[in-house]
């Protein structure tokens, strides 16, 4: 059971403060922080510019515990899904956590040259969107800050590749685990942490309005993606129960405020669901909704989930929907489908943690 202080739970400022309280000079906290994220130390013994005595003291008071790798699955398209086993929490509860490593650009030899890492913030999700696998099993718990940042540290260690981009689009609703996710984002962004710029980290939310107000005020150092999926209140109600208490008009206002305050576009995620939100009138409503909003639309082909009553549209419908939005002057991207054979694609996390037939399960 986890009881000692975990240094991965701390931002740089918090670590400086904590070590100062324990009697070290201010620079020691920053030094330890760099050992964690820049030099990737696995234990206190490696922190060779600290005195042996201090290293021993830290080891007796704190842990650097991260996540234990449970399973790794590699897709034929190069996507890798990691399943992690966190230490049991203070209530003794265990849960499995998933992250995904997605190859983006390729070099001349066809080898991946850039990667995006997709992180989870909760084991399960309380939002229960009707199309999403993560909402199907019972919600387990919020991940700690350490469990969120450890996904990155663990994937970097395992794969040996650095990430250029991080998306918080795995299991869970980041705004529903506000404090822990915010801290993790600050650590990823910190120039002495993982040093990822605001445009390199994207947090995706189902659109919890009060939380978004707070997110703007607190100035999380990230870009924002909002899962819209429909600009029609009735359809969105059906897809996302949270729409009832977080309606589209209020969501619009808070997104607009984000674009004004941060001078950044908001990404609208839109899953295409056959005969539900993929018709010409749906494109028209979406375009009308976005008229005065600085935004780009990320179209996502639905990845079917066993037992859920939704299907992906045919490719002709997908292209027609995209072209329709483009004709209406919108910035539209069609997200490539990755990792479907290992259930690592959007919305497939957490449903069943067993490999699908044909998946290549790399030995650990």
Catalytically active residues are 98, 346
Residue 346, contacted partner among ligand SAH, ligand SF4, none, CB below 5-8 A by kind: ligand SAH
Hey, what are 139's tokens? 């919600």
Hey, what are 111's tokens? 């080898």
135-169 exposure pattern, b = at least 16 Cβ within 10 A, e = fewer: bbbebbbbbbbbbbbbbbbbbbeeeebebebbbbb
Q: Where are the alpha helices (DSSP H) in the chain?
A: 12-21, 26-37, 52-61, 145-159, 178-189, 209-218, 233-239, 248-262, 280-289, 315-327
The one-character DSSP state at 264 is: -
Candidate list 33, 35, 252, 302; residue touching ligand SAH; CB under 6 A: 302
Q: Please list, in sequence order, all residues whose beta carbon lies within 8 angstroms of the beta carbon of residue 226, skipping any fewer than 6 positions away.
A: 204, 205, 206, 207, 251, 255, 266, 267, 268, 269
Candidate list 19, 169, 248, 299; residue touching ligand SAH; CB under 6 A: 169
Candidate list 31, 99, 180, 205; residue touching ligand SAH; CB under 6 A: 205
Candidate list 67, 80, 83, 305; residue touching ligand SAH; CB under 6 A: 305
Residue 269, contacted partner among ligand SAH, ligand SF4, none, CB below 5-8 A by kind: ligand SAH
User: Judged by CB, which is closer to ligand SF4: 202, or 206?
Assistant: 206
Residue 303, contacted partner among ligand SF4, ligand SAH, none, CB below 5-8 A by kind: ligand SAH
Instruction: Looking at residues 219 to 238 of the shown chain, list those that interact with ligand SAH (rule: CB under 6 A).
Output: 227
Stretch that binds ligand SAH, among 44-52, 81-89, 213-221, 296-304 (CB under 6 A): 296-304
User: Judged by CB, which is closer to ligand SAH: 339, or 347?
Assistant: 347
CA–CA separation, 345 and 81 (whole Å): 9
Q: Is 173 in the site for ligand SAH (CB under 6 A)?
A: yes
Distance in Å, CB of 172 to ligand SAH, minimum: 6
Q: Is 303 in the site for ligand SAH (CB under 6 A)?
A: yes
User: Judged by CB, which is closer to ligand SF4: 170, or 193?
Assistant: 170
User: What are the φ and ψ backbone dihedral angles of 363, each rounded to 5 degrees?
Assistant: -65, 150
Q: Is 60 helix (H, G, I), strand (E, B) or coil?
A: helix
Hey, what are 356's tokens? 């699908």
CA–CA separation, 86 and 104 (whole Å): 28
Candidate list 204, 223, 230, 246; residue touching ligand SAH; CB under 6 A: 204
List the one residue out of 143, 149, 175 whose CA is nearest residue 163. Answer: 149
Candidate list 103, 193, 347, 350; residue touching ligand SAH; CB under 6 A: 347
Residue 271, contacted partner among ligand SF4, ligand SAH, none, CB below 5-8 A by kind: ligand SAH
Distance in Å, CB of 305 to ligand SAH, minimum: 5
List the one residue out of 256, 258, 329 whose CA is nearest residue 288. Answer: 329
Hey, what are 124's tokens? 């399960």
User: Judged by CB, which is closer to ligand SAH: 37, or 351?
Assistant: 351
Q: Which residues of the chain form contacts with ligand SAH (CB under 6 A)?
A: 131-132, 169, 173, 204-206, 227, 269, 271, 300, 302-303, 305, 346-347
């Amino acid at each position: 059971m986890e009881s000692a202080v975990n240094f991965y739970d701390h931002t740089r400022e918090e670590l400086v403060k904590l070590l100062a309280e324990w009697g070290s000079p201010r620079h020691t906290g920053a030094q330890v922080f760099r050992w964690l994220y820049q030099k990737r130390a696995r234990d206190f013994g490696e922190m060779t510019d600290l005195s042996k005595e201090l290293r021993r003291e830290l080891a007796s008071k704190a842990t650097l515990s991260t996540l234990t790798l449970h399973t790794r699955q590699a897709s034929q398209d190069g996507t890798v899904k990691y399943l992690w086993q966190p230490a049991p929490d203070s209530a003794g509860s265990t849960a499995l956590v998933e992250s995904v490593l997605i190859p983006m650009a390729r070099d001349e030899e066809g080898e991946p040259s850039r990667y995006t890492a997709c992180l989870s913030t909760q084991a399960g999700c309380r939002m229960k969107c009707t199309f999403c696998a993560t909402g199907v099993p019972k919600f387990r718990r919020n991940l700690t800050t350490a469990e969120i940042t450890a996904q990155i540290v663990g994937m970097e260690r395992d794969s040996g590749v650095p990430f250029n981009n991080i998306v918080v689009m795995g299991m869970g609703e980041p705004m529903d685990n506000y404090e822990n996710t915010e801290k993790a984002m600050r650590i990823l962004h910190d120039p002495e942490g993982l040093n990822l710029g605001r445009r390199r980290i994207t947090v995706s939310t189902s659109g919890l309005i009060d939380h978004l107000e707070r997110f703007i005020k607190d100035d999380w150092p990230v870009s924002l993606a909002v899962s819209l999926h429909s600009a029609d209140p009735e359809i969105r109600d059906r897809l996302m129960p949270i729409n009832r208490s977080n309606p589209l008009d209020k969501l619009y206002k808070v997104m607009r405020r984000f674009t004004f305050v941060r001078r950044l576009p908001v990404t609208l995620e839109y899953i295409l669901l056959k005969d539900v939100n993929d018709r010409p009138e749906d494109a028209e409503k979406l375009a009308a909704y976005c008229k005065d909003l600085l935004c780009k639309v990320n179209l996502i082909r639905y990845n079917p989930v066993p037992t859920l009553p939704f299907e992906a549209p045919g490719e002709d419908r997908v292209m027609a929907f995209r072209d329709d939005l483009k004709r209406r002057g919108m910035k539209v991207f069609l997200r490539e489908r990755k990792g479907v054979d290992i259930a690592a694609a959007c919305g497939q996390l957490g449903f069943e943690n067993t490999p699908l037939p044909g998946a290549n399960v790399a030995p650990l």
